[in-house]
């Protein structure tokens, strides 16, 4: 797994500046006023920084913009990075500033001189998130990321603030690694083994095998994986950090590879279907974060792990399967498999744990990407309080989410001639009918939210906090949601 390079917080000293290797970072506010560190660097560079701060170029720089000065005279560093930032920036600005520093630094060591800046931990968090790199399967020599040193006057306070953030970055990296892994490596068995390894953090982890699911009547889930040699599994992760109250449940779709089954996908882009277990990846990352930071809440995470392959034994369009709930489903399209997986896991979660609420996450539909692009996940809910609390948390973490509609009229689109329902409707409203399907497996009065993360789990271009590929979207937002609502 990708190692997280956590920063070292050091007592601020100007004497460290001349000898620092790699990249030296100093901050200058919008007025161009220099603090002690910037003054020392400017003096060592014979006034270069001050001359730059007096130019129109500096004036046009936005907060968070950086200017690189390579091979600075008077310093051992390879470069000096001037960061334009207020003395007390907003949290989200500080994080983005940190991410820009990390991007500019590449693999070089980072020496961040911030004196008494109260956002030092947030700057460091941004650096940590952006320094992710998935190279587990590269054999060429790659330079290791250098260490990160933050020089600050209030060392202990910054360390304590970062400690909670470090658990989040560990969870984000875990999610990104899972989503980035190729399907021949991350089989259903390997996925389950990686989650079982979380026991060492204090999580209770158990696995339902196919025989267990047969006894429970989970034929909706089992039908999806019957064409694969990889066994279908459900992994249950329990974190009991609260009192005696019932847990809140997180449920994730974990299709480790999705060919579409008999309803085969086009070849172009099928390689991206290694990320179809993104919902399960997010749930796993959140559970790891909660365990690492010893969250004072009871949370259970359940993930359905399957592989959707075409085979002589594979499920066919037109088949009818019975769910654990007892409802029958006509399978119109075997490529609408995620909802079949979630149906049984959602029902099992409610019947087994009697949760106070449920959030499911899935890379469920291409339709949500058409509607919301890659900026927002689609949020569907039967409970205003639940969805509003989550959207507040997601907004605070700058992880985009947008509420989508539900309604009885959409139910008519999944009426089956021969079964209780069919697994797809028409093309119109595809993400909504998928959510309506899932809602049929939610008990009356159960607060529930479905997050369709197909557009945000993995992207083709870099984001503020991640290189292209898996983003880790949702770990930060769900962790904050749990902290705000269940630990407040």
Q: Residue 118's pLDDT is what?
A: 81
**End-to-end alpha carbon distance in the chain:** 32
Q: Residue 1's pLDDT is what?
A: 82
Q: 236, 196 in Cβ contact below 8 A?
A: no
Q: Residue 214's pLDDT is what?
A: 98
Sequence spans of domains, the chain: 8-162, 186-486
Comparing C-alpha atoms, which of 366, 329, 332 is closest to residue 454? 366
pLDDT band at 30 (very low <50, low <70, confident <90, very high): confident
Radius of gyration of the chain (CA): 25
Residue 15 CA to chain centroid, in angstroms? 39
The CATH number fitting domain 8-162, selected from 1.10.10.10, 3.40.50.1980, 3.40.50.10280, 3.40.220.10:
3.40.220.10
Q: Residue 246's pLDDT is what?
A: 97
Q: 469, 277 in Cβ contact below 8 A?
A: no
Instruction: Give the up-direction half-sphere exposure of residue 148: CA atoms within 13 A in the CB hemisphere.
Output: 24
Percent of the chain scored above 90 by pLDDT?
96
Q: Residue 5's pLDDT is what?
A: 93
Identified catalytic residue from 103, 265, 296, 403: 265
Ordered alpha helix ranges (H), 397-452: 408-411, 430-439
**Is it true that domain 186-486 has CATH number 1.20.1600.10?**
no
Comparing C-alpha atoms, which of 446, 283, 438, 260 is closest to residue 361? 283
Q: Residue 291's pLDDT is what?
A: 98
Q: Residue 457's pLDDT is what?
A: 98
Can you tell me the mean pLDDT for 119-145? 94
Can you tell me the mean pLDDT for 303-309? 98
Percent of the chain scored above 70 by pLDDT?
100
pLDDT tens, 314-346?
A: 999 999 999 999 999 999 999 999 999 999 999
pLDDT tens, 57-89?
A: 999 999 999 999 999 989 999 999 999 999 889
Q: 182, 174 in Cβ contact below 8 A?
A: no
- Chain mean pLDDT for the chain: 97
Active site residue 339: yes
Q: Is 336 exposed, middle or buried (0-12, 13-18, 19+ CB in 10 A)?
A: buried
Identified catalytic residue from 325, 339, 422, 440: 339
The whole-angstrom separation of Cα 274 and Cα 373 is 20
pLDDT tens, 462-473?
A: 999 999 999 999
pLDDT tens, 100-125?
A: 999 999 999 999 999 887 899 999 99
Position 371 pLDDT exceeds 80 = yes
Position 185 pLDDT exceeds 90 = yes
Strands 233-240 and 248-258: unpaired
- At 217 the three-state DSSP class reads coil
Position 488 pLDDT exceeds 90 = no
The whole-angstrom separation of Cα 336 and Cα 193 is 27
Q: Residue 117's pLDDT is what?
A: 78
pLDDT tens, 246-280?
A: 999 999 999 999 999 999 999 999 999 999 999 99
Q: Residue 396's pLDDT is what?
A: 97
Q: Residue 141's pLDDT is what?
A: 79
Position 142 pLDDT exceeds 90 = no
Lowest mean pLDDT among 81-95, 219-233, 436-450: 81-95
**Token reading at 12:** 């601020």
Active site residue 265: yes
Q: Residue 87's pLDDT is what?
A: 86
Instruction: Give the up-direction half-sphere exposure of residue 263: CA atoms within 13 A in the CB hemisphere.
Output: 16
The whole-angstrom separation of Cα 194 and Cα 378 is 28
């Amino acid at each position: 797994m990708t190692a997280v390079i956590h920063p070292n917080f050091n007592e601020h000293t100007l004497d460290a500046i001349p000898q620092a290797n790699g990249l030296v970072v100093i901050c200058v506010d919008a007025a161009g006023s220099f603090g002690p560190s910037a003054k020392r660097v400017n003096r060592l560079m014979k006034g270069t920084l001050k001359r730059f701060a007096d130019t129109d170029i500096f004036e046009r720089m936005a907060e968070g913009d950086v200017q690189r000065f390579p091979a600075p005279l008077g310093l051992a560093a390879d470069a000096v990075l001037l960061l334009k930032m207020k003395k007390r920036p907003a949290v989200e600005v500080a994080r983005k500033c940190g991410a820009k520093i990390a991007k500019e630094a590449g693999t070089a060591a980072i020496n961040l001189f911030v004196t008494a800046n109260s956002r030092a931990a947030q700057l460091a968090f941004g650096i940590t998130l952006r320094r992710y790199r998935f190279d587990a399967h590269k054999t060429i020599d790659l330079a290791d990321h250098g260490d990160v040193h933050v020089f600050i006057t209030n060392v202990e306070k910054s360390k304590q603030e970062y400690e909670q953030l470090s658990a989040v970055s560990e969870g984000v990296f875990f999610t990104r690694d899972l989503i980035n892994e190729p399907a021949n490596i991350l089989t259903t068995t390997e996925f389950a083994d990686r989650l079982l390894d979380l026991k060492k953090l204090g999580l209770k982890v158990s696995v339902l095998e196919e025989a267990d699911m047969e006894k429970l009547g989970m034929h909706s889930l089992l039908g999806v994986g019957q064409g694969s040699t990889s066994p279908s599994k459900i992994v249950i992760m329990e974190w009991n950090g609260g009192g005696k109250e019932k847990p809140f449940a997180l449920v994730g779709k974990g299709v480790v590879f999705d060919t579409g089954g008999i309803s085969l996908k086009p070849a172009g882009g099928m390689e991206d279907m290694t990320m179809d277990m993104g919902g399960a990846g997010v749930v796993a990352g959140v559970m790891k974060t909660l365990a690492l930071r010893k969250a004072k809440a009871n949370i259970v995470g359940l993930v359905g792990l399957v592989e959707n392959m075409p085979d002589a034994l594979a499920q066919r369009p037109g088949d009818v399967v019975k769910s654990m709930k007892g409802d029958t489903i006509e399978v119109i399209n075997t490529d609408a498999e995620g909802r079949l997986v979630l149906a049984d896991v959602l029902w099992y979660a409610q019947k087994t744990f009697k949760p106070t609420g449920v959030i499911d996450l899935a890379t469920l539909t291409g339709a949500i990407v058409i509607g919301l692009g890659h900026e927002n996940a689609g949020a569907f809910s039967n409970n205003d309080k639940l969805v509003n609390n989550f959207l507040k948390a997601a907004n605070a973490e700058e992880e985009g989410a947008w509420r989508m509609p539900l309604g009885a009229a959409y139910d008519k689109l999944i009426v089956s001639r021969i079964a209780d329902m069919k697994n797809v409707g028409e093309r119109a409203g595809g993400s909504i009918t998928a959510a309506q399907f899932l809602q049929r497996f939610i008990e009356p009065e159960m607060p529930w939210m479905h997050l369709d993360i197909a557009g945000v789990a993995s992207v083709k271009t870099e984001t503020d906090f991640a290189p292209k590929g898996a983003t880790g979207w949702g770990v930060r937002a769900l962790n904050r949601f749990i902290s705000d609502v269940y630990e407040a």
